[in-house]
Amino acid sequence: MLANKTAVVTGSTSGIGLGCARAFAEQGANIVINGLGDADEIERTRASIEADFGVQCAYSPANMLKADEIAAMVADAEKDFGSVDILVNNAGIQFVSPVDEFPVDKWDAIIAINLSSAFHAIRAAVPGMKQRGWGRIINTASAHALVASPYKSAYVAAKHGIAGLTKTVALEVAEQGITVNAICPGYVWTPLVEAQIPDTMKARNMTEEQVKKEVLLKAQPTKEFVTVDQVSGYAVFLCSDTASSITGSVLPIDGGWTAQ
């Protein structure tokens, strides 16, 4: 479905981003992955995408705090592969604190990585998409783009910002073959989430199952984690011809969280 296309996925060395990168590669797209991690592990990840799906895969070390590096990542992808047809803005960080105690540097970093980096990447990618008359921009938002939780002021503000950015850019490019949508997952089972469980078990004197059901999944009526494959499958669908009239949408995939 995506042969001869190129997808740039930020924050894609693990978790949702890596799932999206592999799902696009399975559909025939060349891939640019980006993110943090051990250099040898990143190289194994990059090489496995090429080996498993027979596509080209490059790694960009672009720092999502730096606008010039984000623009260079897109420019390099266009130079190396001929186009950037799909852009997934997935990079993100989190910090939890009461607003009156929230460290200013944490606020600045969360807004920069979770929101501003998407603006910089979109700004760099849209001219080429306009020229070719086709593009798919997918922003990984969160259920927190639709509802709030306490102690997450920066994260919730950034994700609400992503929703607004998504709608605005979608209107600007609606007649040029480009769609722009935001996917809003609830809790997704990733290595990052899994790693939080032992400390939470100890801090709350709970079993693993209690932590999952009573802490992590408390807001999700299904009491089931969203899976990486479900999110990446959603992203692939948004790149299909069937989804060409879906644009400017903020799309929950949250086990019913935002239906409450």
Q: How confident is the model at residue 232 (pLDDT cuts 50, 70, 90)?
A: very high
Tell me the per-residue pLDDT of 172-184, one tens digit each, with 9 for 90 and over: 999 999 999 999 9
Averaged pLDDT, 51-67: 98
CB atoms within 10 A of CB 161: 18
Domains (ranges, CATH) in the chain? 6-188+226-259 (3.40.50.720), 189-225 (no CATH)
Judge whether residue 54 has pLDDT over 90: yes
Tell me the per-residue pLDDT of 85-116, one tens digit each, with 9 for 90 and over: 999 999 999 888 999 999 999 999 999 999 99
Which of 181, 173, 215, 223 lies closest to 198, judged by CA? 215
Residue 93: predicted pLDDT: 92
Which residues lie across from 139 on neighbouring strands? Answer: 89, 182
pTM equals 0.95
Averaged pLDDT, 223-250: 97
Handedness of CA 71, 169, 232, 186 (dihedral sign): positive
Q: Is 187 a catalytic residue?
A: no
Which residues lie across from 137 on neighbouring strands? Answer: 87, 180
Q: Choose, from 59, 155, 187, 234, the residue flagged as catalytic.
A: 155
Judge whether residue 197 has pLDDT over 90: no
Our CA angle for 194, 109, 164, nearest 5°, is 90
What is the C-alpha to C-alpha distance for residues 92 and 159, in angstroms, rounded to an integer? Answer: 10
Handedness of CA 223, 229, 230, 232 (dihedral sign): positive
Which one has a higher pLDDT value, 256 or 215? 256
Q: How confident is the model at residue 201 (pLDDT cuts 50, 70, 90)?
A: confident
Residue 204: predicted pLDDT: 85
Q: Would you call 12 exposed, middle or buried from its count of C-beta atoms within 10 A (0-12, 13-18, 19+)?
A: buried
Residues for the chain: how many in total? 260
Q: Cα-Cα-Cα-Cα dihedral of 195, 161, 244, 20, to 10°?
A: -20
Strands in 250-253's sheet, in edge-to-edge order, are 57-60, 30-34, 6-9, 86-89, 135-140, 178-185, 250-253
Half-sphere exposure of 177 (CA within 13 A, CB side): 12
